[in-house]
Structure 1
Amino acid sequence: MKLTVLLFSIISFSMCNSSKDSTQEFSSAHSLDTTQLNEAFEQYKEKELYHRRFKHQTIEALLKTHAQKNVLTVTQIGNSVQGRSINEVTFGTGDKKVMLWSQMHGDEPTATMALFDLFNFLEGENDEFQAVRDLLKEKLELHFIPMLNPDGAEIYNRRNAQSIDLNRDGRKRQTIEGKLLRDRAEAVKPQYGFNLHDQNIYYNVPETKNPVTISLLAPAFNEERDVNDVRGGAMKIIVGMNRILQQYVPDAVAKYDDTFSPRGFGDNFQMLGASTVLIESGGLKGDPEKQEIRRLNFAIILNALIEIAEGSYQKYDAEDYNAIPFNASQLHDVVIRNVEIGSDSIPLRTDVGIRRSEFTINTDYFVRGRIEDLGDMEDNYGYDEVDGTGLKLIVAKVSPQIVDSAQNLTIDQSLDLLRKGFMAVKVKQVGPSKENKLHQLPLLFFTQNQFFPTTEITLGGTANFFLGDESGQLKYAIVNGYVIDLSKKDKAIWKNVVF
């Protein structure tokens, strides 16, 4: 009799599947819209994390504070090569086990910030989000490892202290940190995994100049990139994430390369039976410290956890995952189009691509711009683009003024010097520490070293020059790879250094 009832129930459910709208099958009683997600983020954003180059000591201090509140359980699960603690944060007593790990690459910190925002959220009480917390606590068992590679984070470096890429150690687990992550996975046996990374800012959505702000992936578990229930579940979770993201950053989402990587942790978690989602934080113009992208991480991770807890992610069609395009790589910081860069004897009118490299000094950084590409760049894009038609290179001059330090000049004074054709200023001293060399002015400062302006555009060469018309009227300054429209009062932040 019981068997008969069970079979009838299954048949009835199948019939309902064919006749009901899929959104009704797995309704969400706790879903948050973007307004509510924004409210949660602003209320629980971790104020101690406000730039990308925070160190292990900041994370450790925050974890000690969280441990004292007795809502989250904080456990040291090991040490890095250089002896820094690696910690796991747990929450919830449910049957569905979820592992989330961030910063296995030390210079990929965006999701770490978002996890600490989520920790604050989980510790909240008696507000409009209490039902969500209760749901997550009852249905999920969450395991977070918020900084797997503290040694890399200390110097803002991708690899660990032994120069090993931890995300290529998923198979052999030769590193302390890689073995630790795999050991925790085997102990926890999660049904779901979140592999949290940053990708470079030069990926774009194919056929557009839109930077990929968030890239997603359900990693393959075999060479054939087959789809089983485990990987299919990850695809459905991603469809739900993309639904939220399109409301924040329309047409700025793509998929990461899904080539099977037997060394990769995401691929290995998928093989272990955990529906695993890769989140890559990319680029967003005007967000150099990725604080808005941090907001997006918070929103999509929280939303995904709610949908996992309810099972409501099952309402999505995994085929919609395939509609998300793969990353293209056609972006530069600056593209100058159709500009004259030849000589009087051999003219050349072409396109110029510029990229800026970052150099870390403690918790700050500076950049150096270089010529990344020359030639036909019609299929490439820039965060900033300049129409160089009718313009040519004009060599920058050194100001006759000598200042005590970069702090003696304001932005307005700096822009005034640029409009007069002066790009470099000599300073008498920069102070005792490396930090004193940093400044945020659109000029090149130098001390004893001689300033060498860009006299010709060459591949790999510097990007310090003016663009002007045939009469010599200056239109744009290209300072260390930043483009400055001299007709405007630019309020951008430049990250420069005294040479």
Structure 2
Amino acid sequence: MNYLQLHEQNKEQSLFGRYITLNHIEPLLEKYNAAIIGKSVLDKPIYTLQFGSGKVKILMWSQMHGNESTTTKGLFDYINFLNSNTKESERILSKFTFCIIPMLNPDGAELYTRENANAVDLNRDSQNLSQPESIVLRKTFEEFQPHYCYNLHDQRTIFGVADSGKPATVSFLAPAFNESRDVNDVRIKAMNVIVAMNDVLQQYIPNQIGRFDDSFNINCIGDTFQYLKVPTILFEAGHFPNDYEREETRKYIFIALFSGIEFLSENDIVISKIDDYLKIPQNKVVFYDFVYKNVKINYDNKEKIINFAAQYKEVLNKNKVQFEARITQIENLDSFFGHVVIDANGEQFSSEETDFPKIDQKANFYLGKSKKVVNGLIIN
């Protein structure tokens, strides 16, 4: 099966980039007859979509963190497939019933923040249920009684696949259900789906799939639902080279959704694939957006050669996310990689502010007399 062609056929063209709000998706919600199931802190509607009539029920939610929009795009691409009136989509709809909350945190989405309007991380509120959005998700879970849960997120560009030097473009987790991180039949079901998705994704982004840390935290929604004996799968949409708008990554979220559900449609017997699951390398914080090597500086009247790194800060400006590169780390980069690596070859650092890099300084400087760096990148 040509998954990339399938994605192109079903890609939701109205959604693009990192800033996805309720205003962007409401025409799609109307198109697919979404229902309002609650309100946010700022009284914005929280919608649900239901498709299919099958026995196996799957609950999915995205943008629990408002600034994590890649999975929302991939989710609407998959929703378009479900409504494509093809033999394949009709077969899936006959086997599954989907309950989808495309944007759990509409306030955070508009503000482009991780938290909701009360500055609460909804993914740490599964026990207190202190926020209206948390209550909506828990009520939907209890009323829908899913057989599987899909917890859809983004992760930062800092994550790589172990020490491979490859970015973690997509990462998964079958969350723990207790402190000792035991494995039971419920968790095995989630692991098996992840293995199936990994097998397919390796054909498209080899060595760019990670396994998220499974430390137990009952306040996290995935851990809670796994504890309540419902197989839960965490999706983390990460970085693909030069894809800061996450338009490439959305393809692989679509492929993961498609291939995982295809696996569930064809497999009823639970055969443990825990060994294959554990072979997926763990996520690790090993990347900066920019690494600058062999840079000469003059510090205390002494010349020395240093390395330093810069990271993009995401800033919402006039309804668009801008990426501002700022110096993040000086030296101590031996175990880190850069999505962009610039070797100064001993050229002298200089800037309008200082003669040496400082933490949180904008990455605008010169290397020697001929190399001008603007917002992290050499422009001449």
For 1:347, the equivalent position in structure 2 comes to: 303
Across the aligned residues of Structure 1 and Structure 2, the Cα RMSD in angstroms comes to: 1.6
Matched, 1:467 2:367: yes
Q: Following superposition of structure 1 onto structure 2, how do residues 46-195 of structure 1 map, counting pairs within 5 Å?
A: 46-67=12-33, 74-125=34-85, 130-195=86-151
AA aligned to 1:479 is V
Question: Is the contact between residue 337 and residue 388 of structure 1 (CA under 8 Å) also seen in structure 2?
Answer: yes
CA deviation vs aligned residue, 1:163-191 (integer Å, no higher than 9, x gap): 11111111121110101101111111111
AA aligned to 2:337 is Y
1:137, 1:62 → 2: CA distance? 19
Task: For CA contacts below 8 A with separation 6 or more, give which structure has more relative contact order.
Answer: 2
Instruction: Report SS of the residue matched to 1:342.
Output: strand
2:243, 2:151 → 1: CA distance? 22
For 2:378, the equivalent position in structure 1 comes to: 484
Q: Following superposition of structure 1 onto structure 2, how do residues 444-463 of structure 1 map, counting pairs within 5 Å?
A: 452-463=352-363
**Consecutive unaligned residues in structure 2, runs of 5 or more:** none
1:343, 1:199 → 2: CA distance? 36
2:214, 2:282 → 1: CA distance? 9
Give the C-alpha shift of residue 257 in structure 1. 1.2
Shift in CA distance, 171/95, structure 1 to aligned 2, threshold 3 Å: same
Q: TM-score, normalised on structure 2? A: 0.96
Shift in CA distance, 362/345, structure 1 to aligned 2, threshold 3 Å: closer
Give the C-alpha shift of residue 453 in structure 1. 4.3
For 2:202, the equivalent position in structure 1 comes to: 246
For 2:174, the equivalent position in structure 1 comes to: 218
Instruction: Report SS of the residue matched to 1:197.
Output: strand
1:242, 1:134 → 2: CA distance? 25
Shift in CA distance, 344/171, structure 1 to aligned 2, threshold 3 Å: closer
Count how many residue pairs are aligned between Structure 1 and Structure 2.
Answer: 380
Question: Is the contact between residue 82 and residue 90 of structure 2 (CA under 8 Å) also seen in structure 1?
Answer: no
Instruction: Report SS of the residue matched to 2:242.
Output: coil
AA aligned to 2:42 is Q
Instruction: Report SS of the residue matched to 1:221.
Output: coil
Q: Following superposition of structure 1 onto structure 2, how do residues 298-337 of structure 1 map, counting pairs within 5 Å?
A: 298-311=254-267, 314=270, 317-337=273-293
Percentage of pairs with the same residue? 36
Give the C-alpha shift of residue 309 in structure 1. 2.1
Give the C-alpha shift of residue 389 in structure 1. 2.5
CA deviation vs aligned residue, 1:51-97 (integer Å, no higher than 9, x gap): 22122122122111122xxxxxx221111111111111111111111
Instruction: Report SS of the residue matched to 2:30.
Output: helix
Tell me which structure has the larger Cα radius of gyration: 1
CA deviation vs aligned residue, 1:185-238 (integer Å, no higher than 9, x gap): 111111101000001111111222211111110000000100000001101110
AA aligned to 1:484 is I
AA aligned to 1:92 is G
**Consecutive unaligned residues in structure 1, runs of 5 or more:** 1-32, 68-73, 396-451, 487-499
Please point out which of 245, 248, 253 is paired with 1:289: 245
1:110, 1:211 → 2: CA distance? 16
Question: Is the contact between residue 18 and residue 321 of structure 2 (CA under 8 Å) also seen in structure 1?
Answer: no
2:144, 2:40 → 1: CA distance? 21
